[in-house]
Structure 1
Protein backbone atom coordinates (compact mmCIF):
# COMPACT_ATOMS: atom_id res chain seq x y z
CA UNK A 1 0.00 0.00 0.00
CA UNK A 2 1.39 3.34 -1.06
CA UNK A 3 1.56 5.77 1.85
CA UNK A 4 0.26 9.34 1.47
CA UNK A 5 2.78 12.20 1.89
CA UNK A 6 1.21 13.31 5.19
CA UNK A 7 1.68 9.85 6.70
CA UNK A 8 5.29 9.70 5.48
CA UNK A 9 6.02 13.09 7.03
CA UNK A 10 4.47 12.03 10.34
CA UNK A 11 6.52 8.82 10.44
CA UNK A 12 9.75 10.73 9.75
CA UNK A 13 8.98 13.35 12.40
CA UNK A 14 7.84 10.91 15.07
CA UNK A 15 10.48 8.24 14.56
CA UNK A 16 13.25 9.63 16.77
CA UNK A 17 10.99 10.85 19.60
CA UNK A 18 9.33 7.43 19.77
CA UNK A 19 12.67 5.65 19.93
CA UNK A 20 13.76 8.03 22.69
CA UNK A 21 10.57 7.20 24.57
CA UNK A 22 11.34 3.51 24.09
CA UNK A 23 14.65 4.03 25.88
CA UNK A 24 12.81 5.81 28.69
CA UNK A 25 10.44 2.86 28.87
CA UNK A 26 13.41 0.51 29.17
CA UNK A 27 14.75 2.43 32.16
CA UNK A 28 11.32 2.63 33.81
CA UNK A 29 10.76 -1.08 33.32
CA UNK A 30 14.21 -2.04 34.62
CA UNK A 31 14.40 0.09 37.78
CA UNK A 32 11.78 -1.76 39.90
CA UNK A 33 13.25 -5.13 38.87
CA UNK A 34 16.91 -4.30 39.39
CA UNK A 35 16.08 -2.42 42.62
CA UNK A 36 13.34 -4.46 44.30
CA UNK A 37 13.68 -2.36 47.48
CA UNK A 38 12.89 0.90 45.66
CA UNK A 39 10.40 3.21 47.33
CA UNK A 40 6.74 3.14 46.45
CA UNK A 41 7.03 6.59 44.86
CA UNK A 42 9.75 5.39 42.49
CA UNK A 43 7.76 2.30 41.54
CA UNK A 44 4.65 4.41 40.93
CA UNK A 45 6.63 6.89 38.81
CA UNK A 46 8.03 4.04 36.69
CA UNK A 47 4.52 2.66 36.27
CA UNK A 48 3.25 6.03 35.06
CA UNK A 49 6.17 6.34 32.63
CA UNK A 50 5.43 2.88 31.19
CA UNK A 51 1.79 3.78 30.54
CA UNK A 52 2.73 7.16 29.06
CA UNK A 53 5.20 5.57 26.62
CA UNK A 54 2.69 2.91 25.63
CA UNK A 55 0.11 5.71 25.17
CA UNK A 56 2.51 7.59 22.90
CA UNK A 57 2.90 4.56 20.63
CA UNK A 58 -0.87 4.01 20.69
CA UNK A 59 -1.38 7.66 19.71
CA UNK A 60 1.14 7.21 16.89
CA UNK A 61 -0.92 4.32 15.56
CA UNK A 62 -4.13 6.36 15.72
CA UNK A 63 -2.53 9.32 13.91
CA UNK A 64 -1.17 7.08 11.15
CA UNK A 65 -4.59 5.49 10.84
CA UNK A 66 -6.26 8.90 10.46
CA UNK A 67 -3.67 10.03 7.90
CA UNK A 68 -4.04 6.87 5.81
CA UNK A 69 -6.09 7.25 2.65
CA UNK A 70 -7.48 3.70 2.89
CA UNK A 71 -7.99 3.13 6.58
CA UNK A 72 -9.40 -0.37 6.39
CA UNK A 73 -6.45 -1.45 4.26
CA UNK A 74 -4.13 0.22 6.78
CA UNK A 75 -5.71 -1.79 9.62
CA UNK A 76 -5.36 -5.01 7.62
CA UNK A 77 -1.71 -4.38 6.77
CA UNK A 78 -0.84 -3.21 10.31
CA UNK A 79 -2.82 -5.75 12.31
CA UNK A 80 0.16 -6.51 14.56
CA UNK A 81 0.34 -2.85 15.59
CA UNK A 82 -3.35 -2.94 16.47
CA UNK A 83 -2.90 -6.09 18.57
CA UNK A 84 0.01 -4.47 20.40
CA UNK A 85 -2.08 -1.39 21.13
CA UNK A 86 -5.07 -3.37 22.43
CA UNK A 87 -3.11 -6.01 24.36
CA UNK A 88 -2.52 -4.06 27.60
CA UNK A 89 -6.12 -2.79 27.60
CA UNK A 90 -7.54 -6.30 27.50
CA UNK A 91 -5.39 -7.45 30.43
CA UNK A 92 -3.35 -4.62 31.98
CA UNK A 93 -0.40 -6.72 33.14
CA UNK A 94 3.06 -5.18 33.30
CA UNK A 95 4.50 -7.95 31.14
CA UNK A 96 1.89 -7.31 28.44
CA UNK A 97 2.90 -3.64 28.34
CA UNK A 98 6.47 -4.81 27.78
CA UNK A 99 5.46 -7.15 24.94
CA UNK A 100 3.21 -4.59 23.27
CA UNK A 101 5.84 -1.83 23.45
CA UNK A 102 8.50 -4.13 21.98
CA UNK A 103 6.15 -5.03 19.12
CA UNK A 104 5.36 -1.38 18.40
CA UNK A 105 9.02 -0.38 18.49
CA UNK A 106 9.86 -3.23 16.13
CA UNK A 107 7.16 -2.25 13.66
CA UNK A 108 8.27 1.39 13.62
CA UNK A 109 11.89 0.32 13.13
CA UNK A 110 10.90 -1.72 10.06
CA UNK A 111 9.18 1.32 8.57
CA UNK A 112 12.26 3.49 9.01
CA UNK A 113 14.12 3.18 5.71
CA UNK A 114 17.30 4.80 7.03
CA UNK A 115 17.82 2.10 9.62
CA UNK A 116 19.91 -0.62 8.10
CA UNK A 117 19.06 -4.24 8.61
CA UNK A 118 22.26 -4.99 10.52
CA UNK A 119 21.62 -2.15 12.95
CA UNK A 120 18.05 -3.28 13.43
CA UNK A 121 19.04 -6.88 14.10
CA UNK A 122 21.78 -5.83 16.52
CA UNK A 123 19.38 -3.58 18.40
CA UNK A 124 16.75 -6.32 18.44
CA UNK A 125 19.21 -8.81 19.92
CA UNK A 126 20.32 -6.44 22.66
CA UNK A 127 16.75 -5.35 23.40
CA UNK A 128 15.38 -8.88 23.56
CA UNK A 129 18.22 -10.04 25.78
CA UNK A 130 17.77 -7.12 28.14
CA UNK A 131 13.99 -7.27 28.37
CA UNK A 132 13.97 -11.06 28.42
CA UNK A 133 16.39 -11.03 31.34
CA UNK A 134 14.38 -8.47 33.26
CA UNK A 135 11.06 -10.19 32.55
CA UNK A 136 12.21 -13.65 33.62
CA UNK A 137 13.91 -12.21 36.70
CA UNK A 138 10.70 -10.49 37.78
CA UNK A 139 8.77 -13.74 37.30
CA UNK A 140 11.27 -16.25 38.72
CA UNK A 141 12.82 -14.27 41.56
CA UNK A 142 10.10 -15.13 44.07
CA UNK A 143 9.50 -18.68 42.85
CA UNK A 144 10.36 -21.19 45.63
CA UNK A 145 11.82 -23.68 43.14
CA UNK A 146 13.41 -21.08 40.86
CA UNK A 147 17.16 -20.76 40.33
CA UNK A 148 17.16 -17.40 38.55
CA UNK A 149 17.60 -15.06 41.48
CA UNK A 150 20.02 -12.37 40.27
CA UNK A 151 20.35 -10.19 37.19
CA UNK A 152 23.52 -12.06 36.22
CA UNK A 153 21.66 -15.37 36.27
CA UNK A 154 18.89 -13.86 34.16
CA UNK A 155 21.29 -12.40 31.56
CA UNK A 156 23.16 -15.71 31.27
CA UNK A 157 19.89 -17.61 30.89
CA UNK A 158 18.67 -15.14 28.28
CA UNK A 159 21.89 -15.46 26.25
CA UNK A 160 21.90 -19.27 26.29
CA UNK A 161 18.20 -19.35 25.44
CA UNK A 162 18.40 -16.95 22.50
CA UNK A 163 21.34 -18.85 21.04
CA UNK A 164 19.40 -22.11 21.61
CA UNK A 165 22.40 -23.55 23.50
CA UNK A 166 20.43 -24.30 26.65
CA UNK A 167 23.05 -25.48 29.15
CA UNK A 168 20.32 -26.13 31.71
CA UNK A 169 22.14 -24.60 34.68
CA UNK A 170 19.42 -21.94 34.84
CA UNK A 171 15.87 -22.62 33.73
CA UNK A 172 12.44 -21.12 34.46
CA UNK A 173 10.13 -23.11 36.71
CA UNK A 174 6.90 -21.12 36.44
CA UNK A 175 4.42 -21.28 33.60
CA UNK A 176 4.89 -17.62 32.70
CA UNK A 177 8.66 -18.01 32.80
CA UNK A 178 8.47 -20.93 30.39
CA UNK A 179 6.27 -18.90 28.07
CA UNK A 180 8.96 -16.21 28.09
CA UNK A 181 11.54 -18.89 27.29
CA UNK A 182 9.54 -20.08 24.28
CA UNK A 183 9.20 -16.52 22.99
CA UNK A 184 12.92 -15.90 23.45
CA UNK A 185 13.83 -19.14 21.68
CA UNK A 186 11.63 -18.34 18.68
CA UNK A 187 12.98 -14.79 18.55
CA UNK A 188 16.57 -16.05 18.64
CA UNK A 189 15.93 -18.51 15.81
CA UNK A 190 14.19 -15.79 13.76
CA UNK A 191 17.02 -13.29 14.26
CA UNK A 192 19.61 -15.94 13.42
CA UNK A 193 17.69 -16.63 10.21
CA UNK A 194 17.65 -12.91 9.36
CA UNK A 195 21.40 -12.62 9.92
CA UNK A 196 22.10 -15.74 7.84
CA UNK A 197 19.85 -14.52 5.02
CA UNK A 198 21.50 -11.09 5.11
CA UNK A 199 24.98 -12.60 4.85
CA UNK A 200 23.86 -14.91 2.02
CA UNK A 201 22.27 -11.98 0.17
CA UNK A 202 25.52 -10.00 0.53
CA UNK A 203 27.56 -12.86 -0.96
CA UNK A 204 25.06 -13.33 -3.79
CA UNK A 205 25.13 -9.61 -4.57
CA UNK A 206 28.92 -9.69 -4.49
CA UNK A 207 29.08 -12.64 -6.88
CA UNK A 208 26.59 -10.93 -9.19
CA UNK A 209 28.77 -7.81 -9.23
CA UNK A 210 31.78 -9.96 -10.10
CA UNK A 211 29.81 -11.67 -12.86
CA UNK A 212 28.70 -8.33 -14.28
CA UNK A 213 32.28 -7.05 -14.24
CA UNK A 214 33.51 -10.26 -15.85
CA UNK A 215 30.86 -10.02 -18.58
CA UNK A 216 31.75 -6.39 -19.16
CA UNK A 217 35.43 -7.23 -19.56
CA UNK A 218 34.59 -10.16 -21.85
CA UNK A 219 32.43 -7.90 -24.02
CA UNK A 220 35.18 -5.28 -24.13
CA UNK A 221 37.71 -7.94 -25.23
CA UNK A 222 35.28 -9.19 -27.89
CA UNK A 223 34.76 -5.69 -29.29
CA UNK A 224 38.50 -5.04 -29.26
CA UNK A 225 39.12 -8.32 -31.11
CA UNK A 226 36.56 -7.39 -33.76
CA UNK A 227 38.18 -3.97 -34.18
CA UNK A 228 41.59 -5.60 -34.58
CA UNK A 229 40.19 -7.99 -37.22
CA UNK A 230 38.58 -5.09 -39.05
CA UNK A 231 41.85 -3.16 -38.98
CA UNK A 232 43.73 -6.19 -40.28
CA UNK A 233 41.24 -6.61 -43.07
CA UNK A 234 41.51 -2.93 -43.94
CA UNK A 235 45.31 -3.07 -43.89
CA UNK A 236 45.25 -6.19 -46.07
CA UNK A 237 42.89 -4.48 -48.50
CA UNK A 238 45.11 -1.41 -48.67
CA UNK A 239 48.18 -3.57 -49.15
CA UNK A 240 46.46 -5.48 -51.97
CA UNK A 241 45.49 -2.25 -53.70
CA UNK A 242 49.06 -1.04 -53.42
CA UNK A 243 50.45 -4.18 -55.03
CA UNK A 244 47.87 -3.97 -57.85
CA UNK A 245 48.75 -0.34 -58.59
CA UNK A 246 52.42 -1.22 -58.83
CA UNK A 247 51.70 -4.06 -61.26
CA UNK A 248 49.64 -1.72 -63.48
CA UNK A 249 52.45 0.75 -63.60
Structure 2
Protein backbone atom coordinates (compact mmCIF):
# COMPACT_ATOMS: atom_id res chain seq x y z
CA UNK A 1 0.00 0.00 0.00
CA UNK A 2 2.94 2.31 0.65
CA UNK A 3 3.96 2.02 -3.01
CA UNK A 4 0.46 3.03 -4.12
CA UNK A 5 0.45 6.03 -1.79
CA UNK A 6 3.86 7.15 -2.99
CA UNK A 7 2.75 7.01 -6.63
CA UNK A 8 -0.56 8.79 -6.11
CA UNK A 9 0.38 11.47 -3.58
CA UNK A 10 1.50 14.08 -6.14
CA UNK A 11 -1.35 13.45 -8.66
CA UNK A 12 -3.90 13.65 -5.87
CA UNK A 13 -2.30 16.79 -4.51
CA UNK A 14 -2.66 18.33 -7.98
CA UNK A 15 -6.25 17.08 -8.15
CA UNK A 16 -7.02 18.73 -4.81
CA UNK A 17 -5.59 21.99 -6.15
CA UNK A 18 -7.79 21.72 -9.26
CA UNK A 19 -10.79 20.92 -7.05
CA UNK A 20 -10.10 24.01 -4.97
CA UNK A 21 -9.62 26.18 -8.07
CA UNK A 22 -12.96 25.15 -9.56
CA UNK A 23 -14.66 25.69 -6.21
CA UNK A 24 -13.08 29.15 -5.93
CA UNK A 25 -14.16 30.33 -9.38
CA UNK A 26 -17.74 29.22 -8.82
CA UNK A 27 -17.90 31.18 -5.56
CA UNK A 28 -15.99 34.33 -6.47
CA UNK A 29 -17.30 34.95 -10.00
CA UNK A 30 -20.98 35.82 -9.70
CA UNK A 31 -21.18 36.69 -13.41
CA UNK A 32 -19.83 33.35 -14.64
CA UNK A 33 -21.96 31.96 -17.51
CA UNK A 34 -23.98 28.89 -16.70
CA UNK A 35 -22.08 26.82 -19.24
CA UNK A 36 -18.81 27.48 -17.47
CA UNK A 37 -20.40 26.75 -14.11
CA UNK A 38 -21.53 23.37 -15.39
CA UNK A 39 -18.07 22.62 -16.79
CA UNK A 40 -16.38 23.54 -13.50
CA UNK A 41 -18.89 21.43 -11.61
CA UNK A 42 -18.04 18.47 -13.87
CA UNK A 43 -14.32 18.89 -13.17
CA UNK A 44 -15.08 19.17 -9.46
CA UNK A 45 -16.98 15.88 -9.42
CA UNK A 46 -14.25 14.22 -11.52
CA UNK A 47 -11.52 15.13 -9.03
CA UNK A 48 -13.80 14.09 -6.18
CA UNK A 49 -14.20 10.70 -7.88
CA UNK A 50 -10.39 10.40 -7.90
CA UNK A 51 -10.32 10.79 -4.11
CA UNK A 52 -13.03 8.17 -3.71
CA UNK A 53 -11.22 5.77 -6.05
CA UNK A 54 -7.94 6.25 -4.19
CA UNK A 55 -9.59 5.49 -0.85
CA UNK A 56 -11.36 2.45 -2.30
CA UNK A 57 -8.13 1.04 -3.78
CA UNK A 58 -6.19 1.47 -0.55
CA UNK A 59 -9.07 -0.11 1.38
CA UNK A 60 -9.02 -3.08 -1.00
CA UNK A 61 -5.23 -3.45 -0.86
CA UNK A 62 -5.20 -3.39 2.92
CA UNK A 63 -7.59 -6.36 3.16
CA UNK A 64 -8.60 -5.15 6.63
CA UNK A 65 -12.32 -4.55 6.14
CA UNK A 66 -13.97 -1.93 8.33
CA UNK A 67 -10.92 -1.69 10.57
CA UNK A 68 -9.19 0.18 7.74
CA UNK A 69 -11.76 2.97 7.99
CA UNK A 70 -11.30 3.21 11.76
CA UNK A 71 -7.52 3.52 11.45
CA UNK A 72 -7.75 5.93 8.48
CA UNK A 73 -10.53 8.16 9.76
CA UNK A 74 -8.91 11.34 8.42
CA UNK A 75 -8.81 9.86 4.90
CA UNK A 76 -12.48 8.95 5.18
CA UNK A 77 -13.34 12.50 6.26
CA UNK A 78 -11.34 13.91 3.34
CA UNK A 79 -13.35 11.77 0.91
CA UNK A 80 -16.54 13.34 2.27
CA UNK A 81 -15.04 16.85 2.53
CA UNK A 82 -12.29 17.13 -0.14
CA UNK A 83 -11.45 20.70 0.89
CA UNK A 84 -9.86 19.20 4.03
CA UNK A 85 -7.36 17.19 2.00
CA UNK A 86 -4.44 19.44 3.05
CA UNK A 87 -4.76 17.97 6.56
CA UNK A 88 -3.26 14.72 5.21
CA UNK A 89 0.10 16.34 5.94
CA UNK A 90 -0.36 14.89 9.44
CA UNK A 91 -0.17 11.35 8.05
CA UNK A 92 2.85 12.23 5.94
CA UNK A 93 4.56 13.61 9.04
CA UNK A 94 3.82 10.38 10.90
CA UNK A 95 5.34 8.31 8.09
CA UNK A 96 8.49 10.43 8.23
CA UNK A 97 8.70 9.88 11.96
CA UNK A 98 8.71 6.11 11.37
CA UNK A 99 11.58 6.43 8.87
CA UNK A 100 13.89 8.62 10.92
CA UNK A 101 16.89 6.29 11.32
CA UNK A 102 19.07 9.05 9.83
CA UNK A 103 18.88 12.81 10.16
CA UNK A 104 17.99 13.53 6.55
CA UNK A 105 17.38 17.24 6.11
CA UNK A 106 15.91 16.77 2.63
CA UNK A 107 13.19 14.49 4.00
CA UNK A 108 12.20 16.86 6.80
CA UNK A 109 12.52 19.87 4.51
CA UNK A 110 9.98 18.30 2.16
CA UNK A 111 7.56 17.81 5.04
CA UNK A 112 7.96 21.42 6.13
CA UNK A 113 7.55 22.68 2.57
CA UNK A 114 4.48 20.47 2.07
CA UNK A 115 3.01 21.70 5.35
CA UNK A 116 3.52 25.32 4.30
CA UNK A 117 1.80 24.76 0.96
CA UNK A 118 -1.07 22.87 2.51
CA UNK A 119 -1.53 25.58 5.13
CA UNK A 120 -2.03 28.05 2.27
CA UNK A 121 -4.47 25.70 0.53
CA UNK A 122 -6.40 25.02 3.73
CA UNK A 123 -6.57 28.72 4.56
CA UNK A 124 -7.80 29.55 1.07
CA UNK A 125 -10.40 26.78 1.18
CA UNK A 126 -11.60 27.90 4.60
CA UNK A 127 -11.78 31.52 3.47
CA UNK A 128 -13.87 30.55 0.45
CA UNK A 129 -16.28 28.41 2.44
CA UNK A 130 -16.77 31.02 5.16
CA UNK A 131 -17.20 33.80 2.60
CA UNK A 132 -19.89 31.81 0.81
CA UNK A 133 -21.70 31.21 4.11
CA UNK A 134 -21.30 34.66 5.65
CA UNK A 135 -21.57 37.26 2.87
CA UNK A 136 -25.34 37.45 2.92
CA UNK A 137 -26.01 36.58 6.56
CA UNK A 138 -27.71 39.12 8.88
CA UNK A 139 -25.22 40.75 11.24
CA UNK A 140 -22.22 39.29 9.41
CA UNK A 141 -18.82 40.97 9.89
CA UNK A 142 -17.24 38.99 7.02
CA UNK A 143 -18.68 40.85 4.05
CA UNK A 144 -15.88 40.62 1.46
CA UNK A 145 -13.46 37.91 0.42
CA UNK A 146 -10.65 40.06 1.81
CA UNK A 147 -12.33 39.95 5.23
CA UNK A 148 -12.56 36.18 4.93
CA UNK A 149 -8.87 35.80 4.01
CA UNK A 150 -7.87 37.97 6.97
CA UNK A 151 -10.03 35.87 9.27
CA UNK A 152 -8.56 32.62 7.88
CA UNK A 153 -4.97 33.82 8.45
CA UNK A 154 -5.64 34.83 12.05
CA UNK A 155 -7.50 31.57 12.71
CA UNK A 156 -4.90 29.24 11.18
CA UNK A 157 -2.11 30.89 13.12
CA UNK A 158 -4.26 30.63 16.30
CA UNK A 159 -3.98 34.40 16.83
CA UNK A 160 -7.71 35.12 16.61
CA UNK A 161 -7.98 38.92 16.75
CA UNK A 162 -11.77 38.76 16.88
CA UNK A 163 -12.35 41.82 14.69
CA UNK A 164 -14.19 39.65 12.16
CA UNK A 165 -15.93 36.44 13.17
CA UNK A 166 -18.39 34.03 11.54
CA UNK A 167 -21.98 34.20 12.75
CA UNK A 168 -23.59 31.34 10.82
CA UNK A 169 -23.54 27.70 12.00
CA UNK A 170 -21.68 26.67 8.84
CA UNK A 171 -19.12 29.41 9.27
CA UNK A 172 -18.48 28.53 12.89
CA UNK A 173 -18.16 24.84 12.04
CA UNK A 174 -15.49 25.74 9.49
CA UNK A 175 -13.79 27.87 12.15
CA UNK A 176 -13.48 24.87 14.47
CA UNK A 177 -11.92 22.81 11.68
CA UNK A 178 -9.57 25.66 10.80
CA UNK A 179 -8.35 25.99 14.38
CA UNK A 180 -7.70 22.27 14.62
CA UNK A 181 -6.01 22.29 11.21
CA UNK A 182 -3.80 25.21 12.16
CA UNK A 183 -2.58 23.43 15.27
CA UNK A 184 -1.92 20.22 13.30
CA UNK A 185 0.03 21.97 10.54
CA UNK A 186 2.09 24.08 12.93
CA UNK A 187 2.82 20.93 14.92
CA UNK A 188 4.00 19.13 11.79
CA UNK A 189 6.41 21.93 10.88
CA UNK A 190 7.85 22.51 14.34
CA UNK A 191 7.94 18.79 15.09
CA UNK A 192 9.84 18.01 11.88
CA UNK A 193 12.41 20.72 12.49
CA UNK A 194 12.84 19.75 16.15
CA UNK A 195 13.21 16.06 15.27
CA UNK A 196 15.87 16.84 12.69
CA UNK A 197 17.82 18.98 15.14
CA UNK A 198 17.70 16.31 17.86
CA UNK A 199 18.84 13.58 15.48
CA UNK A 200 21.61 15.82 14.11
CA UNK A 201 22.94 16.47 17.62
CA UNK A 202 22.62 12.78 18.52
CA UNK A 203 24.64 11.74 15.47
CA UNK A 204 27.33 14.31 16.26
CA UNK A 205 27.47 13.02 19.82
CA UNK A 206 27.89 9.41 18.63
CA UNK A 207 30.82 10.41 16.42
CA UNK A 208 32.81 11.88 19.28
CA UNK A 209 35.75 9.78 20.57
CA UNK A 210 34.93 8.06 23.87
CA UNK A 211 35.80 10.32 26.79
CA UNK A 212 37.00 13.09 24.45
CA UNK A 213 35.85 16.35 23.01
CA UNK A 214 34.74 16.78 19.38
CA UNK A 215 38.23 17.98 18.52
CA UNK A 216 39.96 15.21 20.44
CA UNK A 217 41.71 17.66 22.79
CA UNK A 218 40.69 15.87 26.00
TM-score (normalised: structure 1) = 0.70
Give the CA RMSD over aligned residues.
3.1
Which of these two proteins has the greater Rg computed from alpha carbons?
1
Cα distance between partner residues in 2 of 1:108 and 1:16: 15
Cα distance between partner residues in 2 of 1:17 and 1:199:
26
Say yes or no: does 1:46 pair with 2:31: no
1:173 counterpart = 2:180: no
Match of residue 186, structure 2, among 192, 200, 203: 192
Number of the residue aligned with 1:138: 132
Counterpart position of 1:98: 83
The match for 2:26 is 32
Residue matched to 2:112 = 118
- 1:13: Cα distance to partner? 3.5
CA deviation after TM superposition for structure 1 residue 97, in Å: 4.7
In the alignment, does 2:176 pair up with 1:182? yes
If asked which structure has higher relative contact order (CA below 8 Å, sep 6+), I would say 2
Structure 2 distance, partners of 1:77, 1:20, is 25
Task: Map residues 203-218 of structure 1 onto 2, 5 A cutoff.
Answer: 203-215=197-209, 218=212
Number of positions where the alignment pairs a residue of Structure 1 with one of Structure 2: 207
Q: Which runs of 5+ in 2 are unaligned?
A: 97-106
Distance 1:139 1:60, change over 3 A: same
In the alignment, what sits opposite 2:151?
157
Give the structure with the larger helix fraction: 1
Q: Partners in 2 of 1:17 and 1:192 — Cα distance?
A: 24
- CA shift digits 1:149-199 (9 cap, x unpaired): 222111111111111222222111111111111211121122222222223
**Deviations along 1:60-103, whole A, 9 cap, x unmatched?**
12222223344455444323323443x3xxxxxxxx4534x556
Q: 1:228 corresponds to which residue? A: none
Does the 8 Å contact 2:154/2:161 carry over to 1?
A: yes
Aligned-partner SS, 1:37: coil
Q: Is the 8 A contact 1:50 1:97 kept in 2?
A: no
Report the Cα distance in structure 1 between the residues aligned to 2:172 and 2:78, rounded to whole angstroms.
21
Give the distance between the partners of 1:184 and 1:132, measured in 2 at CA. 7
Mapped partners of 2:74, 2:148: distance in 1:
28
- Contact 1:65/1:71 (8 A) holds in 2: yes
**CA–CA distance in structure 2, aligned partners of residues 51 and 74 of structure 1:** 25
